């Protein structure tokens, strides 16, 4: 093995909590506390000590939920975990891209020689987000008090941007991706998840770490599986009305609002060998992109193309693809772009995209999702005896993030 190979960056451990339903028992646990669970677990699994961590980058973007504990959630989480106060950490917000951006910044720190072992974390509790009462601090002399729900539309309407669901639906139609296709994808993703779950692909000790919630009386509540997946039919999906003025996006072909956290531990191959750790995957490329806000369903494809260019690989070399299902429009539009006009290739790419289901079934706690698709890709490549894979995600106002893994 050459000196160069030993400088490669490898993932040695990765885990996540189950992703919750909206009305789950998890909905009352602060995103900081969900993060502590995966942060402790991801190092415990491989015997890495907290003081060995060079840097923790942590993605979270539902600011109003974090605000219940003020700010700097990662600093709080590291201290609550009982870790040494000297550990460097950063909380970042790049919308749904955040936990992959966190990984990319750690990769950069290792390459720059500033750290040898890094952790990327993503954590979010969307159901716990409080309502907001602007203007109350000044007082109201007369009249009604307005209360805002930041979860509603999950868009950027306050500054005049269109709801994400509207952009996604309109652009999907321009690419010839119909409402029917989006419903069919949603139905398929639920089916794929159910089959993968039955086959033991979402088991505790691999991707999943349980959330244990102590009760005042009796045994604790243990959540050890994703709570949202449910079998559905095309007929049931077809009856749903589009949301927020979108031409195609419904509650059925979009992910449920969810809570959850994810963590990935990575280091140079040299470090992994010195510790006797078997890598889960090698990180070949990790990149961020952005484009005009309306093109949000397109950005995963653009980011994948950019990552492939950087690593000298082609889409045909990818054995598996993960594209986060912000809506069903995203994997469909993006695989169509990657197919470059070939109907047969489009079908083939869809076959190897989100093979065990995606966010429409599992949920999309925004800060944690990019970490989930990355680790799921690594574990599934492992199960298949190795290969190449790419994971990509779009984030608010058309930001992108992608990672190419080799197992």
Nearest to 52 by CA among 121, 116, 122: 116
Distance CA 316, CA 355 (A): 16
How many CA atoms does the CB half-sphere of 71 hold within 13 Å? 4
The question of whether 96 is a catalytic residue gets the answer yes
Element (H, E) at 400: strand 399-406
Distance CA 358, CA 373 (A): 8
Order of strands across the sheet that contains 117-125:
89-92, 55-59, 117-125, 259-268, 9-16, 281-290, 399-406, 388-395, 320-323
Q: Which two tokens stand for residue 268?
A: 């140079």
Distance CA 306, CA 238 (A): 36
Residue found under tokens 């909590």: 17
Kindly report the CA angle at 244 between 337 and 323, in degrees rounded to 5?
A: 30
Residue from 15, 61, 96, 118 carrying the catalytic annotation: 96
Residue from 97, 118, 187, 364 carrying the catalytic annotation: 364
The question of whether 61 is a catalytic residue gets the answer no
Cβ atoms 262, 38 nearer than 8 A: yes
- CA distances in angstroms from 17 to 1, 40, 241, 259, 350, listed in the order given: 36, 12, 31, 9, 27
Distance CA 402, CA 374 (A): 9
Residue found under tokens 């219940």: 68
The question of whether 376 is a catalytic residue gets the answer no
Active-site annotation, residues: 96, 364, 394
């Amino acid at each position: 093995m050459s000196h160069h190979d030993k400088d490669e960056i490898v993932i040695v451990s990765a885990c996540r909590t189950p992703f919750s339903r909206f009305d789950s028992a998890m909905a009352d646990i602060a995103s900081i506390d969900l993060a502590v669970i995966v942060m402790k677990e991801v190092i415990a699994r491989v015997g890495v000590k907290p003081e060995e961590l060079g840097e923790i980058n942590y993605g979270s973007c539902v600011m109003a939920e974090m605000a219940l504990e003020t700010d700097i959630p990662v600093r709080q989480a590291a201290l609550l975990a009982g870790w040494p106060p000297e550990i460097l950490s950063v909380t970042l917000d790049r919308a749904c891209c955040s936990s992959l951006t966190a990984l990319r910044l750690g990769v950069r720190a290792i390459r720059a020689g500033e750290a040898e072992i890094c952790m990327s974390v993503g954590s979010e509790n969307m159901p716990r987000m409080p309502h907001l009462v602007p203007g109350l601090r000044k007082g109201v002399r007369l009249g009604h008090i307005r209360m805002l729900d930041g979860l509603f539309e999950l868009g950027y309407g306050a500054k005049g941007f269109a709801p994400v669901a509207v952009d996604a639906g309109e652009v999907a139609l321009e690419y010839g991706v119909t409402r029917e296709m989006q419903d069919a994808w949603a139905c398929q993703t639920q089916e794929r998840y159910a089959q993968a779950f039955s086959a033991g692909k979402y088991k505790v000790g691999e991707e999943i770490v349980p959330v244990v919630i102590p009760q005042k009386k009796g045994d604790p509540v243990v959540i050890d599986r994703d709570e949202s997946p449910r079998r559905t039919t095309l007929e049931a999906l077809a009856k749903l009305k589009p949301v927020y003025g979108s031409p195609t996006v419904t509650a059925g072909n979009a992910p449920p609002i969810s809570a959850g956290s994810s963590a990935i531990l990575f280091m140079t191959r040299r470090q992994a060998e010195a510790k006797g750790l078997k890598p889960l995957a090698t990180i070949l490329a990790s990149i961020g992109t952005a484009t005009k806000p309306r093109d949000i369903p397109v950005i995963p494809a653009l980011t994948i193309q950019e990552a492939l260019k950087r690593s000298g690989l082609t889409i045909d070399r990818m054995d598996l693809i993960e594209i986060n299902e912000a809506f069903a429009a995203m994997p469909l539009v993006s695989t169509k772009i990657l197919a470059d006009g070939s109907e047969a290739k489009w079908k083939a790419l869809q076959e190897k995209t989100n093979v065990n289901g995606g966010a429409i079934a599992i949920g999309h706690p925004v800060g944690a999702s990019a970490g989930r698709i990355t680790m799921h890709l690594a574990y599934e490549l492992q199960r298949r005896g190795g290969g190449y894979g790419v994971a990509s995600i779009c984030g608010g106002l058309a930001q992108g993030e992608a990672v190419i893994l080799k197992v």
